[in-house]
Amino acid sequence: MTKITKRELTCFAFFPAAIETQSTSSEELVPSPPSPPPPPRVYKPCFVCQDKSSGYHYGVSACEGCKGFFRRSIQKNMVYTCHRDKNCIINKVTRNRCQYCRLQKCFAVGMSKESVRNDRNKKKKESPKPELAESYELTAELETIIEKIRKAHQETFPSLCQLGKYTTNSSADHRVRLDLGLWDKFSELATKCIIKIVEFAKRVPGFTMLTIADQITLLKAACLDILVGVNFFYCERV
C-alpha cells in the first residue's frame, strides 16, 4: 500500500482551507476602477409605425414588429387586400388592422426586398454543417497509459461500498441521533476518500515526477469534485 505522508494528508483535510486558491504572486494587485458603460444607442422611431425602433433593418429604422412583418411578407410572397381605400393610417395602434397598407408603407419608407433576400442567403451560408464524428486509433503508448490508469483505479477503489455504510431507521429518535452524528460520519468518509485519491494519483504514470507543489495543486483541483461524486453515490445508497 502506498504510504501517505502527514504533510499530504494535512493539505487535503476536508476543511475550507484545503481548497483555497493559492495566490500566484506575492504582491497584491490593486484593481483599477471599472470604466463606465457606453451610453445606449438611440435610434429614430420606426419609419413605418413610429413605435420604438430596435435598429436599422432592411434599410430603415424599424421596430421588431415591422421588421418581422416585412421579412415574413417578402419571404412568403404574401398578397394582402385592403378593405377600405388603400390609404389606411399606419401607426403603433393601427398597424395590425390592414396588412396591405402596412406593407405598402414599408416600401414607401424605403424597406428593401433585396435586403431580405440577401439576409436569407447569408444565413443559409453561415449555417454550420453537421460535423462528422472523428474516428482515430490510439497509439500503443496511449493504450499503455490508459491501461495503467485503469489498473490504478481498480487497485485503489475496489469498491466504494468499503468506505462505509450509513443506514436510516423509521424511528424518529433514531433519526435524530443519526443526524447529529452525520457530519462526523461524512468527515470520516471524506478523509478515507482523500487518502484513496492520493494513493490513486501516485499510481498514475508521471504524477510522482512532478514537483510537490504541482502535485498538491492538481490534487486540490480534483479533490472536491471526487468528494462530491462519492458523496452522491453514498447518498443514493441511503
Amino acid identity for residue 92 in this structure: K
Residue 180: the pLDDT is: 61
Using DSSP bridges, classify how beta strands 55-57 and 60-62 pair: parallel, antiparallel or unpaired. antiparallel
**CATH homologous superfamily of 55-123:** Erythroid Transcription Factor GATA-1, subunit A (3.30.50.10)
CA 1 to chain centre: 40
Residue 65: the pLDDT is: 93
> Looking at the chain, which residues constitute the CATH 3.30.50.10 domain(s)?
55-123
Q: How far is it, in rounded angstroms, from Cα 193 to Cα 227?
A: 7
pLDDT in tens, the chain (238 residues): 444 555 554 544 444 444 344 444 444 445 556 667 766 677 789 999 999 998 899 989 999 999 999 999 999 999 999 998 999 999 989 999 999 999 999 999 999 888 887 776 666 655 565 555 555 677 888 888 888 888 877 777 655 545 444 444 555 555 555 566 677 777 777 777 788 888 888 888 888 899 999 988 888 887 777 666 655 555 544 4
Q: How far is it, in rounded angstroms, from Cα 193 to Cα 177?
A: 24
- CA torsion 229-230-233-235 (nearest 10°) is -110
Q: What is the pTM of this model?
A: 0.38
CATH architecture group of domain 140-236: Orthogonal Bundle (1.10)
Phi and psi based region of residue 175 (left: phi greater than 0; alpha: psi -120 to 50; beta: remaining)? alpha
